[in-house]
Structure 1
């Protein structure tokens, strides 16, 4: 029998959290009136995570797993889970239990009311460093202002998605994926549930500052043309400043010939300023050109090393 519900959990070096995830997800799945499956995606873990996934499947066939051939990143791991999900109602959550599985029944209730996307919105982040809280607060509001679509603030990948929405997401060929942006872009009836985010259950934080920064840049570039326009505006500002400096130098030459401002200092400042503007503009263009380069190569999003819990026909599709 095909499952009614599919739960997608990307896994990267989560051996300390997985037993508790297994216990809590079993409780949630047993309470559901319809059959459910849990899809665990091993994203190139270097610890015992993959072996634990094998053990879970042997104990409970509802726990399926995909073993990616290397670490492809969180967003690609989630995409792999969406490709294999068989349910009519799909929920994405993290393995570190900061997304409490106990919220799933509330999400399902919203889905049964007719909503096709139900995202979890954080009201409080327990035991997170103040720097992380501040940067996250600023980023989400900046993205909401700059993005071409309305991406809700303080939301992560923890959400419920209807099968109709998942089919559309699976049909999108783009490589640099930002799931929470794509689910807003597709539209449909969407709502939120608010929750206080728990601290990580165990283990080390998987999303380092560099990974978070890369995700933020990917979100801005994928859903906003403002950076390109910004380079144009900065270029126009630099041109205006250059004209003003030229007029000032001419004034100083004519009326203040002995002023120190007519020496090399102002020339060096102008050169460094214009050079910085050019380099920043080239960098912004490079980000967009890099996206084009990734798309035209046409490589698969991920490669699979191991698959268990799915039919041969479904496994052969990816």
Structure 2
């Protein structure tokens, strides 16, 4: 009789005191207990400032399968997910949010596809429940731009609710960039991937840690870290403006000085100079902004700081 497989369930949390106990005890653990395999539940405390850490420590004392990976401060969801995958010991790992918007009842479906040979199983939002128009349009715009930027592998609506095989975990842990988007990097790795659609539910309790500002920064990091297309786009834009300015300048010279301004545009030298300078200044500012984004990422990588720091005193059951 072969050894029973181990599933690592990874849940990053930040200030989830209002709903974390109910989510773990009433939603996640009951589903995990019914699986035909062993499991470990890795709760990554991402620098919570409320009672989240105390609550999950009590849960870990009651259930040895619950492991707490407590980070020394708030590093963000992406490093928290990476920390969980670094400490995962399972034959596969499943990442799921603790806000109740991703249904744990679908975990057996992920396991079934994994047992059938899929190495990456990704949860895809088929529809939203009680979400505003701005969030829906923002999500569609994000994936559309990501596709334009050259990332053809990420399916629109895909989320961090996914299961990945041990071979994928090992390859993911080799990646070293600091400004990262986990789902994009996993898709970039390749491997056999399948999808499960689900309804993105309402938040069970509390307020989301991800606000518009953080989501915007995440989108920027995604575009810059996953593609060099922004540089190419603005390179083509520079060529377009340069050629357009040359044609416009040639037109002005012919109309004003050779034909004697038959169109009566009255473009004197100051107007022409102001137009050309405005075009060039705008192009220069845009180009420098994009270049600065890449330089900032290079700066972050060359600092060689750890992606996350674990507070071992507050962590539990890590062995």
What TM-score does the superposition give when structure 2 sets the normalisation length? 0.93
Q: Quick check: 1:287 aligned with 2:293?
A: yes
Shift of 1:267: 3.1
Aligned counterpart for 1:53 among listed residues 44, 51, 56: 56
For residues 35-46 of structure 1, the aligned pairs below 5 Å read: 35-46=38-49
Aligned counterpart for 1:162 among listed residues 165, 178, 182: 165
For residues 118-157 of structure 1, the aligned pairs below 5 Å read: 118-157=121-160
Q: Quick check: 1:25 aligned with 2:33?
A: no
Structure 2 CA distance for aligned equivalents of residues 149 and 140 of structure 1: 10
Q: Quick check: 1:227 aligned with 2:235?
A: no
Structure 2 CA distance for aligned equivalents of residues 19 and 296 of structure 1: 40
Structure 2 CA distance for aligned equivalents of residues 102 and 222 of structure 1: 33
Structure 2 CA distance for aligned equivalents of residues 196 and 291 of structure 1: 35
For the 8 Å contact 2:4–2:37, the answer to whether it is kept is no
Q: Which residue of 1 aligns with 2:317?
A: 309
For the 8 Å contact 2:21–2:56, the answer to whether it is kept is no
Q: Which residue of 2 aligns with 1:106?
A: 109
For the 8 Å contact 1:92–1:158, the answer to whether it is kept is yes
Larger mean CA deviation between 255-264 and 268-277 belongs to 255-264
CA deviation vs aligned residue, 1:14-46 (integer Å, no higher than 9, x gap): 111202211211101210122211111111111
CA deviation vs aligned residue, 1:266-318 (integer Å, no higher than 9, x gap): 4323322211111111111111122222112111101112321111xxxxxxx
Aligned length: 311
Q: Quick check: 1:9 aligned with 2:11?
A: yes
Q: Which residue of 2 aligns with 1:316?
A: none
Structure 2 CA distance for aligned equivalents of residues 266 and 42 of structure 1: 60
Larger mean CA deviation between 120-129 and 134-143 belongs to 134-143
For the 8 Å contact 2:256–2:267, the answer to whether it is kept is no
Shift of 1:134: 0.6
Larger mean CA deviation between 156-165 and 170-179 belongs to 170-179
Gaps of 5+ in 2: none
CA deviation vs aligned residue, 1:62-96 (integer Å, no higher than 9, x gap): 11111111111100000000001111121001111
Structure 2 CA distance for aligned equivalents of residues 20 and 228 of structure 1: 47
For the 8 Å contact 2:43–2:66, the answer to whether it is kept is yes
Shift of 1:149: 4.6
What TM-score does the superposition give when structure 1 sets the normalisation length? 0.93
SS of the counterpart of 1:120? strand
SS of the counterpart of 2:99? coil
Structure 2 CA distance for aligned equivalents of residues 259 and 250 of structure 1: 12
Shift of 1:206: 1.6
Aligned counterpart for 1:261 among listed residues 254, 259, 267: 267
CA deviation vs aligned residue, 1:168-226 (integer Å, no higher than 9, x gap): 10111111111111111111110001111101111112211111111111111111121
Structure 2 CA distance for aligned equivalents of residues 261 and 123 of structure 1: 56
SS of the counterpart of 2:173? helix
User: CA-atom RMSD, angstroms?
Assistant: 1.7
Structure 2 CA distance for aligned equivalents of residues 142 and 78 of structure 1: 24
For residues 65-214 of structure 1, the aligned pairs below 5 Å read: 65-214=68-217
For the 8 Å contact 1:2–1:86, the answer to whether it is kept is no
